[in-house]
Structure formats: C-alpha cells, structure tokens
Structure 1
C-alpha cells in the first residue's frame, strides 16, 4: 500500500522510518511546510515528496499519517475523510475540546476510519495488563498507579503551545487507564508545583503534578507526572486488586535506582526518551493502521476514544487552577 505522511518533524520522520520497514507498505508520499524536512526524510527512508496536503491526497495514497502541528490536525483529518482516505493522526484531535467535538461530529457516519495515536495501547506490557484485568486475574481492582516522568522539560516554545502538562503529557496516562481498566473517570482532584524551569511557571503551567481519579466503579487511580526526572524516561503502571497485583514497566531499563542492600535490580541502562521506551509499540501501532487501511480491522483508537482522555485532562487542568475536585460531567457541560 501507499501511505502519505503530513509533517516530517521529529515524530513524522520517526513514523517514516517505521513505515518504510513494514512489509505492507510499498511506498511513501511526504509533505511538510518546511520542504527540507520532507526532502531529508525522503533521502533517508525513501518516498516521493510533494508540496502540499492537496497534492499528497491526489497522489493515489491508500492512507495518511498526520504528524503535523496540532493546529493543523482538524483540517487534515477532515481533508482525509473528504477524500475517502483512512487517517492516522497523532494526538490530540485538536487543540481545544470544542474543536475536537466539531471534528467528531463532522466525521460521524462518514464511513472512513480514523485512528488516533495513543501508542501505549500497543505496548506489550500494557496489552498484558489489560488482558489480566479483563480476564479477572486481579479480582476486583481497588488502586491503579500510572506514572509518566520525562528526563527533561521540552523547550519554552513547546511548553507555551502545549496546553499544559495534563493535556500534553498526563493525557497518555488518562487514556491508558481507561483502556486497561475498561472504566470511565467520574471525578478528579489535581495538584501541581514548579521546582525547575522558570519558563514553565511563566506559561501558567506546572512541571510536576499528581492527580487522583475516581473511576465509575469506585477504583482510585493515582497519576504522577513530571518534566524533570534526571535518571531517565519513566513510564509505569501498577494495578492492585483483591486477588493479585501487577506492574507494567518493571524491567531492567527502568530509570529507578534501588538502595536496598544486595539488590541489583534494575541492572540495565535506563530508558532516556519515549522513542526508546516505545519503539516496538510505535511499530505495532502503525502495523495496526495498515490493517485499518486494508479493511481487516476497525480503528483501535477512535476520535471518540481520544476525546474521552481529553475531557479528563480538562477536568484536571480546572482542578489544578481552582484547587477543588472536578467531575468530568461538569466539564462536558461547560
């Protein structure tokens, strides 16, 4: 099949490399507002370079991968749907929830599949955790802990346009909690602080946060996030039930040092970036998209799925700023 990629920055180039290695993909068509970015990706991974999204959609592509800036996501998703071409789009669907809802309304009933990029759904550990929960191995869940700690904060320009740590970073935790447990979030309480880069505070954001999520069955989920984790990129999940407890990410590349006498775990080189931690998951995610394009599976993460994680992020953002519990229903009605 022939896949188009719109946006050849860091993640777009990474997707080009991954797609170029998939057996199902015969060729790539690439475009980026910065022509040199598309040209560089074509030289490294192969593919035809065109000068616009319109030209790409006219180039006989079977599916498109949207890796452009967030502001461009709604228009590019809709362009793909209008052309009848299956769409993979990196999260978020749109910069704001009202825009995301507009996209959902516009694509409902169109019959064109859309997959939103939440890669943790394709990580082997999270897949196994979901199977354990859904299979009843843990018994009734009572506590979930989900962690995302970045080794260093993004640049000031990125932070200013990110929408805040809950919308940009924690939203991955929110999505995977929903996906693994099969439950919805009813209420949140979030706190945060600034102990590092001054530009994060100046942007009105926190660099370290914690949120307590109450799920619709009473399970409590604790989400911990930080832009500062000097030992590496730390993504983990714990799930505790009345019968058993399990962990995702408890492996030798875990960026956490034990000080227990005689303990050698973890012994590996810590993960230092999300592309390192989730390389296999990204490959599985894009393999799934080729199956969506081929019509052999339905979208594993729809626009509606992505918006659910977005509502939780909005609730946490309000809770942080207003210092109070916030229900997701309240946010939906705002």
Structure 2
C-alpha cells in the first residue's frame, strides 16, 4: 500500500516510518517544512517525494496518510486527508481536546473515510503479557493497578515543543504519555471514569507531572502517573489481585530498537522483545515468561482493515473515551 507521512520528527521517523516499511508499505511521500528533517527523509527513503505542505502530500495517489506531526496541526492534517478521501491514522492524541477528537471522527464518518489513532502501547510486551495473565485468572480478582511512564529530566528542553507549548497548543505530559496509560488501562479493565487528578508544572514549561485515578466499570482502580521529574521511578506496572500481584519494572524494548535503526521486517522482530514479568505472593516471587511485543501488528491490522478483512485495530469509541478523560483531568485537576 502507498502511504504518505505528515511530519518527520520523533514520531514520524522513529516509530511510523520503520513500522510501515517493515509491514511492506511503500512510503511514497513525506511532508515536512524542516530542512534537516527533509534530509533525514531522503536518507531513509532515497526515492521518496519530500513536500512542504499537507496539500502536496495528499495530492499523491495514496492508500493511507499517517499524521505524525505536532499535536497543534493533527486536526488540520487529518481533515486534509479526509477531504482527499484517504484513510488516515493520527498519532496520539488524535485531537488536543474531546471536541477536536470528535470533530475529526465525525468528519471521517460524514465522508465515509476511515480514521483511527495510534495507541501502539497496546502491543507492548507488558500489555500483551498482562492480557494473557488476566485471562488465566492466576491473580484472582483484580482490585488495583498502578501504571507509569516516569522519567528524570530535571532540566527543561527548550527545543522541545512537547515540553514548552501550552496545553491549548498540544504540549504537556497529559497529552503526550497519559493517552497511552489511559488507553491500555481501558483495554485491560474496561470503560472507566475519572475519580481525581493532579496536573502540574514543576519545571516552568508545559505540564510535566500528571497523575490520574480512574474507576473502571469492572471495579478496578487505576492509578496512572506520567512525569518527567521523578528521581526514583516506580515499577512500569503493578497489578494487585486477591491471589497475588503482577510486577513489570522495565519499559518494553521496542522504542529503543526503533531509535537504534532496527526494523521489524515482515511485520515481526528478529530479536526478543519481552519485558521481564514477575508474580508476587508476599515473600514469594516467581518470574514468568512474557509475550513478545510487536508494534508492527498495528499496521498489519490497518492494512487488513483497508482491505476489508478485519476491523480497525483501535476503536474510535476508545479514542473518544481517552480524550474525554484527559479533558476532565485537566478541568478537574487538584492543584497541590
């Protein structure tokens, strides 16, 4: 399938482009107005058409547009693809607000053009392992889950729009990492509503410390932390059940592999992509074999959805629920 990528920064170059290539898509065109990133695009795809505007991108005969640009222009780029009749995947968050997300989805429905979002963390090793463990019942009745993306970056990166732009323009951790935490939580434990939240700015730029507490319809309480000012990060995930607890300490290795230039050719990794997983029962700790993560599954399923052989990998209902919770978290945040 012929694909165009809007934006060629971190998301476009190090996530979407290698996954698309690995899944057999032909990257026909890349949109960027940045000269350095245009050079990266040509270095990575010597035959690619590099264009400066989204209008030029969608003028190519494309089967898919991937919006990997800054959050500020996600809606503008998605609308351009929809108006051109091209299915579109928008990197998370699809929109900066619930209203913007709903507007993108509604535009696709009116035009009869499929629209989806990139919640790739559902194909992390930890996410796939957790679904397997939950299905086994080995933890008993689940009552609480802690999920984190915590880092220690005490100095503000003044070159990063994510760290400096206002929430209205798409900056901050609530829009950057919380969508992953929320989307995986609702994938594991079902629909949820926000109980409470704190959204703070510690370093003087965009919000950089966001903690959300969700209550799922299933009864599980999810505590979600996205922060870049944590000198002692907690475990990546801890799930508490009546018969034991699951603990995963480390990040899935796929992001590091992609940034190192590795590509999952044929839609599969040729190296292990497991996170170490442990079942705790008090003083007893048992390591279990985790599942291999594979972000490429997302684009394999997208190709199938476009061909009509399977559903889209992420439902727009989930995208809307994530956007709704983010809006509520920002509006109702406790300022402590």
The reply to whether TM is greater than 0.5 is yes
- CA shift, 1:303, in A, is 3.3
Alignment match, 1:158: 162
TM-score (norm 1): 0.76
Alignment match, 1:184: 191
Structure 1 stretches of 4+ with a deviation exceeding 6 A read 271-274, 276-279
RMSD, aligned CA: 3.3
Alignment match, 2:62: 61
Partner SS state of residue 108, structure 1:
helix
- CA shift, 1:109, in A, is 5.4
Partner SS state of residue 148, structure 1:
strand
- CA shift, 1:16, in A, is 5.6
- CA shift, 1:23, in A, is 4.7
Please say if residues 151 and 273 of structure 1, whose CA atoms lie closer than 8 Å, have aligned partners that are also in contact: no
- Counterparts of 2:194 and 2:19 in 1: how far apart (Å)? 39
Please say if residues 65 and 81 of structure 2, whose CA atoms lie closer than 8 Å, have aligned partners that are also in contact: yes
The Cα offsets for residues 14-47 of structure 1, whole Å up to 9 and x where unpaired, read as 2464146425223431111225423431222332
- Counterparts of 1:190 and 1:273 in 2: how far apart (Å)? 33
- Counterparts of 1:12 and 1:130 in 2: how far apart (Å)? 28
- Counterparts of 2:9 and 2:67 in 1: how far apart (Å)? 11
The Cα offsets for residues 47-96 of structure 1, whole Å up to 9 and x where unpaired, read as 22234322222221111111112122112222222323221110112222
Alignment match, 2:8: 8
Alignment match, 1:122: 123
Alignment match, 1:168: 176
Partner SS state of residue 79, structure 1:
helix
Alignment match, 2:304: 291
- CA shift, 1:178, in A, is 0.4
1:130-141 pair list within 5 angstroms: 130-134=131-135, 136-141=137-142
- CA shift, 1:188, in A, is 1.6
Alignment match, 1:328: none
**Unmatched 5+ stretches in structure 1:** 255-268, 324-334
Alignment match, 2:76: 75
Count of aligned positions: 298
Partner SS state of residue 312, structure 2:
coil
**Unmatched 5+ stretches in structure 2:** 261-272, 276-291
